[in-house]
């Protein structure tokens, strides 16, 4: 016969605890007397239940506060397979499957040595605090200048979101990692955008504002209406949305987005160009208003080989022929800035021109 089990690291990660998923249904939570009682404040009193249906094992969330996750994805119900990583809030298990000769072979937990197997520990750390951050809008914005290379004047600022929750990271990359565990990337992205516009809406002469959009937002029907509301709230602001170059894989979607943004009076920029798989053909099909070249192109360009400089000059020339403004990202020295100007970049951004600063310092 077949028996499923859960296994998890114990004793500081030195050993592996194995527990039979038996009898079924198998209820998990913080309450004593359940099939599996977990002494963790992150786990709800009755958190989830594992059941057998049509000879397959399923986990069902019971409305827990901090979620049930299968392979890093929050679920309400999901079929379980051997090797799946299962989290009840921050408590982690791996699903195992074993052929048994006797039904009693795995009725009691057994402890085995860890060996070479290691499980990713607490991937959802911070999930409990994230709803607090979103509800209380505990974020702020720093602004980094984007300059026109020909004149040195500031053409705009990129809005860079930061967290302000005491028990969560400040940097957006880490915050979005937490948000991804609960499917809240779009909500966090929207909060960053709204906060940035609120901070500059009273600035009559504020230059263009560049705001990043998380790829998950592109799949939501609320993105364009949200942007329209921001434009109406701050009509004097020249707004440009930055989308990752990876979105070019969906040309029809990007063209539709660009058209809708143009109708709303909002520009579009492709960010981190050259860091992924974007091709010039795709760029020509749906040219943006701004093309931001990844810093890997720019770093050390003043001392780069002739071949590398000629390649970058050609790419910038193609963008120029498409009437696209080009931005060199990550410019850190005067020499790099001068090389970018000679190559033909219209704009540049980086520590040489200014670090990200709060609105009060602009």
Whether pLDDT at 53 is above 90: yes
- Name the most confidently modeled range: 199-208, 246-255, 315-324: 315-324
Pairwise pLDDT comparison (35 vs 347), residue with the higher score: 347
Tokens of 236: 């004097």
CA–CA distance, 108 with 170 (Å, rounded to integer): 44
Per-residue pLDDT of 130-170, as tens digits, reads 888 998 999 999 999 999 999 999 999 999 999 999 989 99
pLDDT for the residue 100: 66
- What ranges in the chain are assigned the alpha helix state H? 130-136, 172-181, 185-200, 223-233, 251-263, 280-285, 295-298, 306-321, 334-343
Output the CA–CA distances (angstroms, integers) from residue 300 to 309, 335, 359, in the order listed.
10, 9, 30
Q: Is 140 in contact with 116 (CB distance < 8 Å)?
A: no
Give the number of C-alpha atoms closer than 13 A to the C-alpha of residue 33, restricted to the C-beta side: 2
Per-residue confidence band for 39, with pLDDT thresholds at 50, 70 and 90 = confident
CA–CA distance, 113 with 11 (Å, rounded to integer): 11
Q: Which of 78, 36, 31, 34 is nearest to 59 (CA)?
A: 78
Tokens of 203: 């600035």
CA–CA distance, 148 with 2 (Å, rounded to integer): 68
Whether pLDDT at 115 is above 50: no
pTM, rounded to two decimals:
0.69
- The percentage of residues in the chain with a pLDDT greater than 70, rounded to a whole number, is 88
Cis peptide preceding 23, ω within 30 of 0:
yes
Residue range 99-124: mean pLDDT, rounded? 45
pLDDT for the residue 263: 92
Q: Is 52 in contact with 32 (CB distance < 8 Å)?
A: no
What's phi and psi for 78, nearest 5 deg? Answer: -155, 140
CA–CA distance, 224 with 227 (Å, rounded to integer): 5
Who contacts 207 (Cβ-Cβ below 8 Å, separation ≥6)? 154, 155, 156, 157, 238
Residue range 313-321: mean pLDDT, rounded? 93
Window from 56-70, 179-193, 302-316, 340-354 with minimum mean pLDDT: 179-193
Q: Is 95 in contact with 19 (CB distance < 8 Å)?
A: no
pLDDT for the residue 97: 83
pLDDT for the residue 9: 64
Whether pLDDT at 228 is above 70: yes
pLDDT for the residue 252: 85
Residue range 322-344: mean pLDDT, rounded? 96
């Amino acid at each position: 016969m077949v028996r499923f089990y859960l296994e998890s690291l114990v004793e500081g990660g030195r050993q592996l605890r194995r527990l039979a998923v038996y009898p079924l249904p198998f209820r998990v939570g913080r309450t004593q007397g359940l099939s599996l009682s977990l002494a963790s404040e992150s786990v709800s009193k009755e958190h989830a239940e594992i059941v057998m249906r049509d000879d397959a094992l399923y986990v069902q969330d019971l409305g827990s506060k901090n979620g049930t996750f299968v392979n890093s994805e929050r679920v309400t119900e999901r079929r379980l397979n051997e090797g799946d990583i299962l989290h009840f809030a921050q408590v982690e298990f791996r699903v195992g499957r074993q052929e048994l000769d006797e039904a009693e072979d795995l009725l009691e937990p057994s402890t085995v040595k860890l060996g070479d197997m290691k499980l990713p520990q607490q991937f959802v750390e911070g999930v409990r605090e994230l709803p607090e951050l979103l509800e209380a809008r505990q974020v702020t914005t720093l602004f980094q200048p984007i300059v026109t290379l020909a004149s040195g004047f500031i053409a705009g600022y990129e809005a860079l979101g930061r967290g302000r929750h005491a028990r969560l990271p400040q940097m957006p990359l880490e915050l979005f990692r937490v948000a991804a565990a609960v499917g809240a990337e779009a909500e966090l992205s929207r909060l960053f955008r709204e906060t940035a516009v609120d901070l500059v809406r009273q600035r009559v002469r504020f230059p263009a504002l560049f705001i990043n959009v998380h790829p998950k937002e592109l799949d939501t029907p609320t993105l364009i209406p949200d942007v329209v509301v921001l434009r109406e709230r701050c009509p004097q602001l020249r707004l440009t949305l930055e989308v990752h170059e990876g979105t070019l894989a969906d040309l029809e979607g990007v063209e539709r987005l660009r058209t809708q943004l143009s109708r709303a009076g909002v520009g579009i920029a492709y960010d981190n160009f050259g860091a992924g798989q974007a091709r010039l053909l795709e760029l020509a099909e749906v040219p943006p208003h701004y093309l931001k070249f990844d810093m890997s192109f720019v770093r050390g360009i003043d001392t780069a080989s002739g071949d590398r400089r000629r390649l970058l000059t050609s790419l910038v020339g193609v963008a120029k022929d498409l009437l696209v403004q080009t931005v060199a990202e990550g410019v850190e020295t005067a020499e790099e800035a001068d090389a970018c100007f000679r190559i033909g970049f219209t704009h540049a951004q980086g520590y040489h021109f200014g670090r990200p600063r709060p609105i009060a310092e602009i």
